[in-house]
Amino acid sequence: MLPECKGFSGRVEPGYCLDIGLLRAEVSSVLTDQLPPLALRVCGPIACFTRPELKAERMSYPVMTPSAARGVLEAVLWKPAIRWRVERIKVLAPIEFTGFRRNEVGAVATVPTRATVTGGGPHDDFYIEDRRQQRNTVALRNVDYVIEARFELTSKAGSDDNRAKFVDMFHRRVEKGQHFHQPYLGCREFVGDVMAVNDDTPRPIDDTRDLGLMVWDIDFGLDSKGKPRNRPIFFAGQLVHGVLEVPPIQRAR
């Protein structure tokens, strides 16, 4: 059992990167809500954070959405034992749009049945040339963001899992440029470069605007009948001097 740490209130809020099992007397007076969040920088030439009301002809939000930011964080560090919670997104480059057309397909190839695979027989042929569609895209160009977030331990965390362990893993992977899959900015073909935040990182732009309703994330929980909800959650986005504050889920809708 750990000795009592004088001056520590014992209050550890979920989502803050401090493990109570690793507290020592020299840090006992530091409350978890006083610790800075984890941060990384991501940039790229093209990004498209599609507005759901304009998904046929894609049009991007002016700023990265929290769900897209979570995807970048999970590309760097994902484990069943942790869940990321984005706190704020800082915009480092001027918001600029660009338009272009892309070739897309209007259907998904069907998977043949087992009998067809083993015994042969007719199946649905999928020829891209017959199903190609041209769609317009209004995307962002030359984007640059700093994502600040915290994580919380989930019910799948084991006895050896603690917050200090994952904090070290995150810093190490960001500094070495490691990731589980290529980080992307809204669409998988719009790759993003991830780097650590340092003294040379630019300050947020001086831009204040109302972003309207933005997608906070998707609720993949189950409804009362045990069926997936897949319910989108929205929040009122407000960019203030280049910083988008992301509310907790209790304040989103």
pLDDT, residue 19, reads 34
> What is d(CA 217, CA 69) in angstroms, rounded to the nearest whole number?
10
> What is d(CA 15, CA 10) in angstroms, rounded to the nearest whole number?
15
Task: Please give the span between the terminal C-alpha atoms of the chain, in angstroms, as a whole number.
Answer: 43
CATH architecture, domain 34-101+137-215+238-248: 2-Layer Sandwich (3.30)
pLDDT, residue 32, reads 40
Q: Would you kindly state where each structural domain of the chain is located, as residue ranges?
A: 34-101+137-215+238-248
Strand ranges inside 65-131, DSSP E = 82-91, 97-105
pLDDT, residue 57, reads 85
Tens digits of residue pLDDT in 206-231? 999 999 999 998 888 777 788 877 88
The secondary structure of the chain in percent helix, strand, coil, rounded to multiples of 5, reads: 20, 35, 45
pLDDT, residue 140, reads 97
> What is d(CA 109, CA 91) in angstroms, rounded to the nearest whole number?
38
What 8-state DSSP symbol labels residue 34?
Answer: G
> Cβ of 158: how many Cβ atoms within 10 Å?
9
Tens digits of residue pLDDT in 96-144? 999 999 888 877 777 777 767 777 777 677 777 777 888 899 999 999 9
pLDDT, residue 31, reads 35
Residue 139 pairs with which residues in a beta bridge? 98
pLDDT, residue 34, reads 52
pLDDT, residue 230, reads 82
Distant-in-sequence, close-in-space partners of 103: CB < 8 Å, separation ≥ 6: 132, 133, 134
pLDDT, residue 99, reads 95
**Residues of the chain below pLDDT 70:** 1-35, 115, 123, 250-253
